[in-house]
Structure 1
C-alpha cells in the first residue's frame, strides 16, 4: 500500500504541487493523563496503534547515558501476560508488524495490524505500559544486543561516529552532547534497580500519547482504550530540566580519526534554535536550497561544475530544545578540504547578502509542499506526525498547519536566518580524517 501511494504521489508531483488533504482527528484525555488521538481512514483494512513517550536521551543522567534507547529494546522483552520471547510471535502470527525508535527527545512504539486486530494491539501496548517485566535476564540480553548494534552502526561503519563527534563539541551543558545509543560502560555499570526506576518515572500514561489511525470503529476503539488503559495508574509529575548553552563566539576547531574510512570529510556545524521556531523552518529551507538533490547549489558547484567533491550535503537536525545545522563534504582526489570549506562559505555569504531569486523561492516552496504531502501519504506517517505534533509541539493540528508556516516564510527571513546562525565564529569545523596507521615497533 505504501509503495502504491508513493507512486501515485510521484506521478502527481510531475504535474506540479500536490494539494494536501486535511488530516481529520479526534483527541481526548483519560483520567490518568494519557492523551488519545484517533484518526479514521477506511481506505485500507489496516490500523496502526502507537504510543509515544516523552523521554529520550536528553532525559538521562550524564553517568547513565543510553537508557532511553535501551528501553526501546527492553520493553519488547515481555510482560506479566506476554511471555518472554512471545511479543514478536504474537504480532506476526496475527498478520502484523511492529517497531520502535528513539531520539534525543522521545521514544516511539507502534504496531500495524489488519483492522480486525485493533483490540489485540491496544491490549499489547497497555501491557507494555502497565506490566513490563524488567529483570536481569532481559537487561543482560538487551545489553548484548545493543553492544552489537553499536559495533555495527557506529564503531565499524565508515563515518559512523560523524554526528556523535559533532554533537559532543557543539553542546557542553545540554544532554544533546551524547549520542542516543549512549555509553556501553554506563549500561554495564547500571544496576537492575536503576532500570526499574527509569521505567517507573517515564513510561507512564501522563507522559505519553496514544494514537490509533486507520480503519476502525470509533465506538469500539474508545471502549477498548478505556478498558485497557483507563486503569493504569497516573505517574508522578515529571519536572523536565532545562539546559542553557552559552553562545558560540569563535570557531571550534577539532579533528577526529576514523579507522573505517580512506577519504577525509570536512564538517561545518552550527548550533541552531528549537524546531518550534520560525527560524528552524527557514534553516530547513536553506538546507534544501544548498544541498537537496543534484540541482542544489552546493552539489552543482562542487560536484558537477568544479569537480572538487565526491559528495556534499547539508541538513538541519531539528530537536525540541536546540537544533544543529550541519554541512559536510568529501573531497575528490587531492582537493584540500579547506578549499571545499571556502566554497561552502561563499555560498552561505551569498545567502546572507542577496535575496534568493523568485524562481528559486517558488521551487523551494513547491518542494516543501510536496514533502508535506508525502509525510502524510501513509497511515504510518500520519500516526507518527500526530503523536509528534502533540507531544513535542503541543498542537495536534500542526499536522495540518505546519506547512502554512513554511508558506509564510519570506525570502528576507531566509537571508536573516543565514546571517544570524551561519557565521564562521559561531561554528564547529571538524576534520574527520582516516586514522593514522601505527608504525611497527
Structure 2
C-alpha cells in the first residue's frame, strides 16, 4: 500500500518494495516511492498482440486546465532579495471522454519527450473491505499481477520491461492503482495489458494461495519485524476512529487473509473492478484523437457492471482526548503520534487547505516551528513531522482525513512534556499568528515541490488520475499551487486553534529495544 505519488510518511506501508525510510527515522519527504513488491517478481513468457503506437500527428488543441499563480510585480530590488516568490503554475491541457461502459478517460498530451504514462485507478481501497476480510484490497492488487485471459502469469511486467518501461501498483485507503511508464511507441501494448486484466484476471486457487503467502511475508518484513513498523498509520486509526472502514487494519490480519477464498476474490472483482468504477489516465507523447480511439478499441468492449456505493465513512468527532500505548520491542527510542480530524478535503477544500499549510509551517525545514522548539531548543525530540493523511499525501483521500504530529524522543523525555510543547506551539500560532515572511516562504516551498513533482510524465499521470478519481477534477493539479498561495495567515491561525487536546487521539510507542 505504497504512496506512488507523494511523500511516504510511514515506515512499513504495504506494497513498498524498497523503502527510503530507515527504521526509527522520521518519514521521508520524498513524495514518490516504489509501489507493490510484486513488481520484483520474475515474469513468465507470453505474447501479446502487436504494440504499434498511434501516429505522432498533432491533433486539435486542448483547453487549459489550470490557473496561474503569479508573483507580485511591484517589488523593490531590496524586497526581491528577501521575498520568497511563488512560482507560476504551467497550463496542463486535458481532454476527457467517458466510454459507454462508464470508464472515465483522461487524456493529457505533452509532446516534449517520447514517453507516455498509463494509469488505471479503481475506486476501491482499504475502506471498502468488509469485516472479516481485512487486507483484501491489497491482496487483490497482488492477484491482478497473476495473469489474465491473454497474458500469462507475471508476463504483464515482462512485456512492459521488455519495451523499456516500468510497471507498478499500490493500494490506498480510497483507491487501488496500476500504472506503466514507457516509450510512446509502446502505448498500445500498455492499453492491451491493462484492458485484458480489467476484463478477466486469472483468479485461481493456486494464485490466491501464493499471494496470501506473499502478502503475509510483506507484513512480517514491513511491520512485525521492523522497528516502528505500522506506526502510526496502522496503530493510530483504531484510537482516533470508531467505525470499521476507518479504524481497521488495512494491511490485514493473518486469520482474515488465510480465510480468503476464490469466491471472495471473484465477488470482489465483480463488485469493484467494473469499468464505471475506474479512471484511465493517459499522459505524455500522445495524439489525442488517435489515443481516444485506442482507448475505445481496447476498453470499450468490456461489459458494464453496476458501480458500488462508496463505503460508509461517517465518523463522529472526538469530544475528549483518547490515549493508548503500544510496546515496540525493536524500537530504540520512544515515540508519540497525535491525530485530529480535519475538514473534508473533497466537500470543503477551502476549509481544508489551511491545514495543508499549517503542517508545512509546523514541521517542514530547519526553520519550522516544531523543529525549532522540540529538536533545537528543548532537545525534547530526535525527529518530528506533521502531515495530512495516513500516508502523508494531503490530496489522495476522502473524508475523514487525519492530521498527524509524530515525534520520536529521547527515553528521558516524558511524553506529556512533548504533548505540552506541541500544544504551546499550536496556541502560539492561534493567538500570535504567523511571523513576517513565514507564509510566503512556506507557499514558495510548497509550490516548488508541487511543480517539481508534476514536471515528469510519471508524476503527472499519477496525480491527474488521483485528482480525477478522488476529487472529480484532474485540473486541480495545475490549480493547487495557486489555491495554496491564496490561503491566508488568519485561516492558518484559525486551523491551529481547532487542534485542541480534547479533539485528539494520542498513541504512545514505548521502546523496548536496546539503548
- Whether contact under 8 Å (1:39, 1:213) holds in the other structure is yes
Matched, 1:309 2:370: no
CA contact (8 A) 2:239 2:507 kept: no
Q: Any stretches of 5+ residues in structure 1 without a counterpart?
A: 1-5, 7-13
Structure 1 Cα separation of the partners of residues 300 and 407 of structure 2: 52
Instruction: Give the 5 Å matches for 1:349-428.
Output: 349-420=427-498, 422-428=499-505
Q: Given that residues 123 and 175 in structure 2 are in contact (C-alpha distance below 8 angstroms), is that contact kept between their aligned partners in structure 1?
A: yes
Moved over 6 A (4+): none
Q: Kindly tell me: are residues 220 and 95 of structure 1, through their superposed partners in 2, closer, same or farther at Cα, counting changes over 3 Å?
A: same
Taking the aligned partners of 2:411 and 2:220, their CA distance within structure 1 comes to 29
Q: Secondary structure at the match of 2:117?
A: strand
Distance 1:17 1:239, change over 3 A: closer
- Aligned CA-pair RMSD: 1.8
Does the 8 A contact of 1:309 with 1:330 survive in 2? yes
Q: 2:357 aligns with which of 285, 295, 310?
A: 285
Does residue 54 (structure 1) correspond to residue 126 (structure 2)? The answer is no
Q: Aligned with 2:236: secondary structure?
A: helix
Residue-by-residue CA offset, 1:259-278 (whole Å, 9 max, x unaligned) = 11121112221122222222
- 5 Å-filtered alignment, 1:217-228, equals 217-228=287-298
- Superposition pairs for residues 31-430 of structure 1, below 5 Å? 31-162=100-231, 163-276=233-346, 277-317=349-389, 318=394, 319-332=397-410, 334-420=412-498, 422-430=499-507
Query: What is the distance in 1 between the residues matched to 2:282 and 2:353?
Result: 28
8 A contact 2:324–2:506 mirrored in 1: yes
Question: Conserved in 2, the CA contact under 8 Å of 1:174 and 1:245?
Answer: no
Report the more deviating stretch, 304-313 or 250-259: 304-313
Per-residue Cα deviation, 1:222-268 (whole angstroms, up to 9, x for no partner) = 22211110100111131223232222111101111111112111222
- 1-side partners of 2:464 and 2:241: how far apart? 29
Structure with the bigger percentage of helix: 1
Tell me if structure 2 keeps the 8 A contact 1:78–1:87: yes
Worse-matched range after superposition: 298-307 or 106-115: 298-307
Distance 2:443 2:153 in 1: 49
Residue 30 in structure 1 maps to residue 99 in structure 2: yes
CA deviation after TM superposition for structure 1 residue 174, in Å? 4.8
| Structure 2 segments unaligned to the other structure (5+ residues) | 1-31, 33-82
Shift of 1:402: 2.4
Contact 1:102-1:180 at 8 Å conserved across structures: no
Q: TM-score, normalised by structure 2?
A: 0.79
Deviation at 1:323, TM superposition (A): 0.9
CA contact (8 A) 1:312 1:330 kept: yes
Contact kept, 8 Å, 2:101 with 2:304, in 1: the verdict is: yes
Paired residues in the alignment total: 424
Question: 1:297/1:123 Cα in 2 relative to 1: closer, same or farther (>3 Å)?
Answer: same
1:40 to partner: Cα distance:
1.0
